[in-house]
Amino acid sequence: MGDNEELSVDQETVDQKVDQPEIGDEPQQQNSTDNFDPKKHTRVQTGANGELCFQGLTQAEVEARIADGQVNAIQDSSNRSVKDIVMGNTLTFFNFINVVLLALVLSVRSYKNMLFIFIIIANTLIGIFQEIKAKITLDKLKILTVSHVDVIRDGVKKSVTVSELVKDDVILLKSGGQIPADGVILDGEVDVNESLLTGESDSIHKTCGSKVLSGSFVTSGKAMCLLTEVGHDCYMEKLSSEAKQFKRYKTELQRNLDTILKFISIIIVPLGIILFAKQYWISGSTYEQAALDTVAAVLGMIPEGLVLLTSVALALGAVRLARRSTLVRELFCIETLARVDTLCLDKTGTITEGHLCVQGEESVKEDVDLEQLMGRMVAALGDENETFQALRQHYKRNQSTNTKLVLPFSSERKFSGVVFEGEGTYLMGAYQFIFPQADPAVLEKIAEYASQGLRVLTVAHSPNEMTDYTLAEDFEIVGFVFMTDVVRKNAPDILGYFEEQGVDLKVISGDDPVTVAAIAARAGLKDADKYIDATTIHTDEEMEDAILKYSVFGRVTPKQKQQMVRLLKQNGRTVAMTGDGVNDVLALKDADVSIAMASGSEAAKNTANLVLLNSDFASLPHIVNEGRRVINNIKAAASMFLIKTGFSVLTALLTIIVGQNYPFQPIQLSVINGCAVAIPTMLLQLEPSFQKVNKHFFREVLRMSMPAAITITAMITIINNIGHSIGTPREMLSTVCVLATGWVYLITLRQVYSPMTGYRKFVIYLMQTAYLVAMVIGQRIMELVGLNFTCVIVTLAAVNFAPMIIDLATKGYDKFFYWYDHRHDVKPPKPIKVKTRRFRGV
């Protein structure tokens, strides 16, 4: 074959060679095909030195495949479309109930009681607007984090987005990148981690002819790859769409909201039907009055603004984080941030600036020029990690023509190497991994350097030529290269913030633990002296003991990082993990909240819930504070919304059992809800609220809402029944109930949003004024009437005793849960009293 001879694509041969696995089968971990010839599968030229020069597809072939739909464009399932947002906010169960209630109101032609439907429409439109606004903001940020791949087209290397790839494209795979589609290796060698597909964390060595699958990522090496399946035909897409393997778990807030909505959904329809039947057939009310009473009761049970307000709070949180250059991939992870009590920090790229610098070297053998040797090794290896980037910047790259074999760096093996023909093998990496039978004197020397915060890279030589990663016993030390991390200037302030907030910090690294501890101490970590070498940990029990005892971990493998996160979660911790490298992906995947740096690997960014676009560690406190703001404001708002739900359900039940008529009109509840709940909670969502979040979200919500709901229920039940017994007109009783209910609401609003700030005072006083004005101006519309002397006294009594009843109910609630939490405690035995008898004369 001539030097520039071209061969066309033989697609039939490729399809036969790289047939895809069926769904349900494990991916075949094929390592190599001895007689695989890349020239038979793609257009290629042979260079003057015999190397393969791939030509890739022509622009016409790319356009033809795009027209045929053979593109790697995949719909992002985590990103709701505008249509989905509109449908999700409109077609809900409670909106359906509201439409039914509207039909009942229209059937009796009480048009003034239709006010609630306009509030529902406004709520729906606000929710749609805020979610679309957040979507637009996040979509703009996602453009900045779109994964790019180097592809060969028309014989030229160019960078394109993952979604622009087409079938038969030839792409370049390199360390740190995530494989975008299924393919076959044409040239080169890489180590691939398929843990996201198989759950196995061990890297698999891939050579010419090996299959690679989308979703896996390259841990080391470099290779050219031919894409055989793209888009929805990829193994990962088939697996995730049919098996739902990557479905996210629900957060505590989601579970609590689901519990509330499920309970209300179950009781609302039968309770409404029974209430209507009781009033129409038993109490003798007219159809019009029974219908309006039922509408008012059911309307009160629906927490129509709670789901809306939750969505708005999360959307606003995402927008605020976007202004701080933080991309939120999943809205509900903002809520989880508020609960984080343990933060695992990958040293590189978080507390350090993410790059190393060479401090110098020490030659052990005088006949070896260590600086020249390092230049040859760096030129031959071609790795892409931080260590090699620092080595490239420091050492002049000396091309060697006698390179026989390259052993790329692996985070599992902690070393890399080059076999030079006629010279033997040179390795560089961690001393303990190159020399399993370590010399105590050498270890002591390395420890001395490590205590100064220096990372020691050992260079070793063997006269024999290695054929794989199996270590021989004849290696000798050639010299040492000293490197160090550059600590971020703001790291001490950031670490200090988390310690003040009671967040347990764990610094995890693959470097020497003494070096990591020294760097952590420079960064201001409080317990930097509590460190351990992860290679000394062999069992789950030892790891569990270590992760709870130590703060700094060195020589940690990717699998151990994942194990640490899992054990912390098993011990009841809410874990956040930061990282930027391929070796962090497994831990990021298992953390409650995963945070990646934009400057990090594509695999880390694609796995994380949050991406710091400025790659700045200083953004973390703002992220945690935003999570706390969201959850605290949702907790306060949920408390206000559930007051209405609570007293409406209780009052409906008591009306069915012992009452005569439901005491409210729909429009009356609409005004109370608007002035005391909907408007103030929406305005107060903007308030900073950075207090540490209590883990009992639902219990705290009920603590603030149920005493008020019980107080309202007790007052209006007593007022209604006694009033009926003494012949007080219904309209007058309804007026007293409206005034008493509004007063309790406004009292609770102040309690829920305490301590009072200037802005909170302004909003609450404004709502009190609006409520009083509505009572006066809307007197006829709301069917409020003048009160006789008895009703005035009853109203004053309700206003006077309401705070006391709320306080008693709150104390009773606290005592119940104190007993509930301590019911299994072992109580000390009561002392035995011994009675003694006195005798006279003694």
The answer to whether 176 and 214 have CB atoms below 8 angstroms apart is no
Pinpoint the alpha helices (H) of 220-303.
Answer: 235-243, 252-277, 287-301
DSSP annotation of 664 reads -
Of the candidates 650, 705, 702, 546, the residue with the CA atom closest to the CA atom of residue 555? 546
Set 187, 346, 512, 590: catalytic member: 346
Does the active-site annotation cover 139? no
The C-alpha atoms of residue 120 and residue 531 are separated, in whole angstroms, by 57
Centroid of chain to Cα 307 = 20
CA angle 381, 387, 392 (to 5 degrees): 60
The C-alpha atoms of residue 448 and residue 536 are separated, in whole angstroms, by 20
Backbone angles phi, psi at 71, to 5 degrees: -115, 155
The answer to whether 646 and 706 have CB atoms below 8 angstroms apart is yes
Q: How many CB atoms lie within 10 A of CB 617?
A: 24
> What are the contacts of 729-735 at 24+ separation with CB within 8 A?
729/785, 730/661, 731/783, 731/784, 731/785, 732/785, 732/786, 732/787, 732/788, 732/791, 733/663, 733/791, 734/663, 734/664, 734/665, 734/668, 734/783, 734/784, 735/784, 735/785, 735/787, 735/791
Of the candidates 365, 74, 118, the residue with the CA atom closest to the CA atom of residue 231? 74
Separation in Å, CA 797 to CA 650, 800, 802, 809 = 22, 5, 8, 18
The answer to whether 149 and 174 have CB atoms below 8 angstroms apart is no
The C-alpha atoms of residue 387 and residue 371 are separated, in whole angstroms, by 16
The C-alpha atoms of residue 303 and residue 673 are separated, in whole angstroms, by 10
The answer to whether 813 and 706 have CB atoms below 8 angstroms apart is yes
Of the candidates 378, 384, 304, the residue with the CA atom closest to the CA atom of residue 102? 304
Return the amino acid letter for 783. Answer: E
The answer to whether 631 and 260 have CB atoms below 8 angstroms apart is no
**Helix, strand, coil tally for the chain in percent (to 5):** 50, 15, 30
Separation in Å, CA 398 to CA 318, 360, 373, 395 = 49, 18, 8, 9
Classify the C-alpha dihedral 296-302-305-306 as positive or negative.
positive
Helix 730-752 / helix 697-725 crossing angle, nearest 10 deg: 160
Q: The tokens of 551 are what? A: 């703060």
Q: The tokens of 3 are what? A: 């030097």
The C-alpha atoms of residue 160 and residue 151 are separated, in whole angstroms, by 7
Longest CA span, the chain: 131
Give the three-state DSSP class for 1: coil
Of the candidates 524, 564, 525, 528, the residue with the CA atom closest to the CA atom of residue 548? 564
DSSP annotation of 31 reads -
Q: The tokens of 503 are what? A: 């967040």
Annotated catalytic residues are 346
